[in-house]
Amino acid sequence: MMIKKIKLKFFLRKWKGVIGFSILVILIVGGVIFSIIKERKKTVAIVNGYRITIDELKEKISSSPEFYKEYAVFDLKSVVEDYINQILLYQHAKKYERKLRKKVEPKMKNYYMEILTYEFVENILKDKIKISDEEISNYYNTHLQEFIVPEKVQLSEIVVDTKEKADGILDRLKMGESFEKIAETESISPTREKRGGIGWIEIEKLDPQIASLVSEMKPGEILANIIKTEMGYHIIKLTGKTEKRILTLDEATPLIKDLLISQKKKAEVENLMKKLKEKSKIKIYSDMIEKLKEKIK
């Protein structure tokens, strides 16, 4: 009876270990599968095993020039294609890595130094800067001129090559024809693609004579005077208008905060540089600077 009990305990202990190990394996495999599924959800494309993720593309777009960001919004598929081309070229260039190392390493060193310095200033140094409401209010009250929003007008145009055509169009507009339709079909200006829309213009930047006429108009009205330029004869319509005003403190606060942070950041960097130079041993070889001049000419 005792032997049977011992055997049963040994059997249970043995299977308990097997079950525990099996559960561990299941958890590990499950974790790997979960990670793969999670990673797959972020994957935009795979190029010869290289996984392009949403985060990677987001970083590329955010660090690109402003014009590329605008392009990305309208054509993300082309951005992905651009990145795929970049990866393909990179993978091919890797074959020549050893041959190109001497050219690449100095550039990588400079690039890394620039990026690391930038991130330090923006994420470490900048975090220490605090701007109080009082500072913002004081700046606003002493720099009101900076927050004047000029009077603006939104204009549309029809441009034709003769005075007779312009007079004829003015008559048709008085009869109720659509300004936008005529601009789209008969104007010789590139603005015809926007149905004559020129956009918003500060009234101070207009020709003084035109500005004085437009300032008396109401949105929707058409200027009775035909304007002659090198392009042709212009018929002008006022489509929108904003009055000259001063931004409120609430409206100006984000602008002031960014400005004050920028000023304080510059001061912080200058102070830090002064301290670092005082602690450091720096020797400049003037004769080598002259040699450098010859190299970069």
pLDDT digits (tens, 9 = 90+) for 34-79: 444 445 568 888 989 889 888 888 888 888 888 777 777 778 888 8
Task: Please tell me the distance from the alpha carbon of residue 243 to that of residue 220, in angstroms, as a whole number.
Answer: 16
- Model pLDDT, residue 248: 95
Report whether pLDDT(5) > 60: no
Please state the domain extents for the chain. Answer: 2-41, 50-125, 129-148+250-277, 151-243
pLDDT band at 157 (very low <50, low <70, confident <90, very high): very high
Q: Quote the mean pLDDT of the chain.
A: 84
Higher pLDDT pick, 4 / 259:
259
Q: Which residue has the tokens 């149905």?
A: 195
- Model pLDDT, residue 40: 53
Residues 208-227 have pLDDT tens digits of 888 888 888 899 999 888 98
95 touches 67 (CB < 8 A): no
% of the chain residues with pLDDT over 70: 86
Report whether pLDDT(29) > 50: no
pLDDT band at 17 (very low <50, low <70, confident <90, very high): low
Query: What is the fold of 151-243?
Result: Chitinase A; domain 3 (3.10.50)
Task: Please tell me the distance from the alpha carbon of residue 106 to that of residue 295, in angstroms, as a whole number.
Answer: 16
- Model pLDDT, residue 33: 42
Residues 109-155 have pLDDT tens digits of 999 999 999 999 999 988 889 999 999 999 999 999 999 999 999 99
- Model pLDDT, residue 197: 93
- Tell me which of 6-20, 76-90, 119-133, 275-289 is least confident: 6-20
- DSSP for 37-71? HHHHHHEEEEETTEEEEHHHHHHHHHTS-HHHHHH
Query: In Å, how far from its chain's centre is CA 179?
Result: 36
SS3 label, residue 129: coil
Query: In Å, how far from its chain's centre is CA 281?
Result: 40
- Model pLDDT, residue 72: 76
Single-letter amino acid, residue 209? Q
